[in-house]
Amino acid sequence: MAEPLTDARSTGGQRVRRLGARIGWPLTRRIGGAVFVLWAVATLTFFAVRLIPGDPAQAILGGPGSQTSPEALAAVRAEYGLDQPVIVQYLAQLGRLATGDLGRSYALNMDVGPLVLSQLGGTLLLAVLALTVAWILALGLATWSTGRGRVARRIGSGLEIVAAALPHFWLATTLIVVASVWWGILPPISTADARGLVLPVLTLAIPLAGFLGQVMRESLTTALESPFVLSARARGEGERGVLWRHALRHAALPAIGLSGWAFGSLISGAVVVETVFARPGLGRTLLNAVTVRDVPVVIGVVMVVALAYILMTILSDLASRLADPRPTTSTAGGAQ
């Protein structure tokens, strides 16, 4: 499909400028909002982790199972500032965070920054791939089951509902048993090559595809009944053209808006999936850190996840705006 733009320079330029104006101001507001959210997330996490029973100094010295001396505990408390009043610790923590310093892990003998960075890639890759695959699955099912009559529609929406109801860990195990143990075609754990990604990505993508598909199907039905689809048919457009050139784009809009939320749920899913498939990543780091009360790592991971979530939301807003350049913009939904 060729861009039918007649005068790319002027109209294109104008469009870019108009788009810029539409996005520019919200973007600055977004950045302000993001800083606020990060601050609040850090604060909430700081105090929440503090509520968990257990002594951080003990966590630093190898956990509650180790046999530490009072002197060692005191030394650690002083070193990490744990003997300071909570508010001082909190401010110190904020100060460090403001300069980008995520602090030092209690349990892992390393700085949180490098740790989180090293784990971030795997999780992001997993989440982005899962999101992509979920989109492909949802779109595929929607296109397959539309315009094929009631039975196909029923099957399609039935599959979506079932998919959305699958618990991650159960799905993961079932996939392992079927694909790895019975068929022996895919490794059950993460491997260096891409094959190891298939099952984890599917595990995350299938339930998500169910959600996206449900949302998409509703708007797809609306779009297919709209006058512009009738117009397109009247021009001689076939089912496929109607679907791909017109209806799907409308159907995708609400689902695009949901992508920010979807990303958040993928991170939750990653906690389980990374454990089952023995993949390195933020989810596993988080789970481990929480169980050993490794406060700096918990805060660090949560901050990074929050930041990624915010970026994802901005991206999905941006994608919404690009997909739907109409001026009435709906904010990205955080709906379930």
Partner 1 sequence: MPRPALVRSVPLLSTRRPLGVALAAGVTVLGLALTGCTSAAPQASSTPTAGGTLTYASGDAEPTCLDPHVGGNYPQALVSTQYLESLVSLDSDGTVIPWLADSWTVSDDGLTWEFTLRDGVTFSDGTPLDAAAVQANIAHLQDPATGSSTGYLALAKVTGTEAVSDSVVRLTLAQPDSALLESLSQPWLGIESPTALERSQDDNCAAPVGTGPFVVDSWVKQNAITLVRNDDYTSPPADAEHDGPAYLEKIVWRFIPDSASRYAALQAGEVDVIDNAQPDTIAQAGQSDSIVHLDAPRPGASNRIELNSGKAPFNDAAVREAFIRSANVDDAVASLFQGSAERSYSALSSVEPLGTSRPELFDYDPAAAATLLDDAGWSEKDADGYRTKDGVRLTVVFPVSTNQSIPAEQSLFEQIQATAKATGFDVQLTKLDLSSWYTALGSNAYDAVSAPYTKVGPDVLRILFHSDGITPAPSGYFANHAQVNDPELDALLTQAGQTGDADERATLYADAQERILEGFYILPLYDQQNHFLLGTAVQGARALPTVSTPTFYDAWLNR
Partner 2 sequence: MSELEITAAASARPGDQDDQQDGRPGSPSSGPRARPSVVEIAAGLLALFLLVAAIAPRLLAPGDPLAIDPLSAFGAPSWSHWFGTDESGRDIYTRVIDGARDSLVIGVSATLIGLGLGAVLGTVAGTLGTAVDFTVNRFLEVLFAFPGLLLALLFILVFGPGAGSAIVAVGLSTAPGYARIIRAQLLRVRSSAFVEAATVQGLGRGRILARHILPNTLAPLLVLGTLGVGQAIVWAAALSYLGLGAQPPAAEWGAMLAAGRTYITSAWWMSFFPGLFIVLTAVCATALGRAIERRMRHA
Partner 3 sequence: MSAADATRLAAPAGGPPPVPALAVRNLSVGFGSQTVVRGVSLELAPGECLAIVGESGSGKSVTARSLLGLAGAGAQVSADELSLTGESVLGLSESAWRRRRGRDVGLVLQDALASLDPLRPIAREIGDSLRLHTRLDGAERDRRVLEVLAAVGLPDPELYAGRRSGELSGGQRQRALIAAALALDPPLLIADEPTTALDVTVQAQVLDLLEEIRDRGTAILLISHDLAVVSRIADRIAVMHDGRIVETGTPNEVLGHPSHPETRRMLAAVPVDKPRGSRLAPVIATQPPPATEQIDDAERLFVAERTRAATGMTPATGSDLALEGIGLNKTFRGPHGTVQHAVADVSFSLPRGRTLGIVGESGSGKTTTARLALALTAADSGEVRLLGEPWSALPEKQRRARRRLVGAVYQDVLASFDPRLSVREILRHAVAVAAPDVRDGTNRRAGEARVGALLNDVGLSPTLLDRRPTDLSGGQRQRVGIARALASRPQILICDEPVSALDVSVQAQVLDLLDELQRELALSLLFISHDLGVIQHVSDQVAVMHAGRIVETGSAEQVFAAPTHPYTQALLAAVPRLL
117 part of the interface to partner 1, by CB under 8 A: no
Instruction: Determine the interface stretch with partner 2 among 69-77, 112-120, 230-238, 328-336 (rule: CB under 8 A).
Output: 328-336
* Nearer residue to partner 1 within complex by CB, 287 or 319: 287
What are residue 111's DSSP bridge partners?
A: 104
C-alpha to C-alpha distance for 212 and 139, rounded to whole angstroms: 9
Nearest partner of 123 among 308, 259, 257, judged by Cα: 308
49 part of the interface to partner 2, by CB under 8 A: yes
x-marked contacts with partner 3 along 156-195 as a string, rule CB under 8 A: ----------------------------------------
From candidates 41, 42, 97, 115, binder to partner 1 by CB under 8 A = 115
Instruction: Determine the interface stretch with partner 1 among 125-133, 156-164, 254-262, 276-284 (rule: CB under 8 A).
Output: 276-284
Residues 217-276 that bind partner 3 (CB under 8 A): 226-228, 230-238, 241, 245-246, 249-250
171 close to 203: Cβ distance less than 8 angstroms: yes
288 part of the interface to partner 2, by CB under 8 A: no
CA-atom Rg of the chain in angstroms: 24
164 part of the interface to partner 1, by CB under 8 A: no
Q: Residues 127, 130, 132, 134: what is their CA dihedral angle, to the nearest 10 degrees?
A: -140
Nearest partner of 319 among 219, 252, 267, judged by Cα: 252
Residues 52-71 that bind partner 1 (CB under 8 A): 53-55, 58-59, 61-71
HSE of 151, CA atoms in CB hemisphere, 13 A: 0
Provide the terminal-to-terminal Cα distance of the chain, rounded to the nearest Å: 36
Q: Is the Cα torsion angle 77, 81, 85, 87 positive or negative in sign? A: negative
Binding partner of residue 334 among partner 3, partner 1, partner 2, none, CB cut-off 5 to 8 Å per kind: partner 2
- Tokens 């490098």 correspond to 114
Binding site for partner 1 (CB under 8 A): 53-55, 58-59, 61-73, 75, 107-110, 115, 118-119, 173, 176-177, 180-181, 184, 187-191, 275-281, 284-285, 288, 291-293
